[in-house]
Amino acid sequence: MQLPNFKAPQIEPSEDTGWAYVRESFMDVHKNLPNAGMAITIDIGEEKNIHPKNKQEAGRRLAQQALAKTYKMGNVAGGPVYKSMKKDGGKIVVKFEDIGSGLVAKDGVLKTFAIAGADKNFVWADAVIVGDTVVVSSPNVAKPVSVRYAWADNPVGCNLFNREGFPASPFRTDDWAPAGNE
């Protein structure tokens, strides 16, 4: 199970905290270890409790992984996972795997997307679902090079899901060292 949201709610567009990198390491194992599954729980955590009370949803998500990976049931087992990005002028188009029957913005406009240029200064971004991609931009970044989504300890409001109700995993398109560790 990937670490849930926890601690103080996100304030900055990108918060280089240990939690974001640990979540990323969980995703690396999920992607690179054959038959491994991972339940994404970024939406059911609590600010002051590392062990979310909503055990039923965490268990349901883990069960979906087992049904798909172990029992080969053919079900959608999880949420959208970052696959690739493409620069398109002043925008970045982000493509995903595991989108099920399509991407959705739960409760309205997509939130917690950030974008940066070569200066590595992330700002809040506008993000729109276009088919199986999310197009990310900001009037404050003319030549974007990186996107981050829900990149914080507690990215409250992150709302990219698939239609089956599974949240997208937090991700980044860059491989920059954490701020202060360059």
CA atoms within 13 A on the CB side of 7: 12
Give domain limits for the chain.
18-172
Beta bridge partners of 159: none
> What is the H or E stretch that residue 68 is in?
helix 55-69
Q: How much is the pLDDT for 52?
A: 86
Q: What is the pTM of this model?
A: 0.96
Mean pLDDT for the stretch of residues 53-66: 96
Mean pLDDT for the stretch of residues 59-80: 96
> What is the H or E stretch that residue 82 is in?
strand 81-88
Beta bridge partners of 38: none
Q: Evaluate if residue 137 carries a pLDDT over 80.
A: yes
Q: Which of 58, 12, 52 is nearest to 38 (CA)?
A: 58
Would you mind telling me the total number of residues written for the chain in this entry? 182
Phi, psi for residue 172 in degrees, rounded to 5: -140, 150
Q: How much is the pLDDT for 182?
A: 63
* Least confident stretch, 29-33, 38-42, 134-138: 29-33
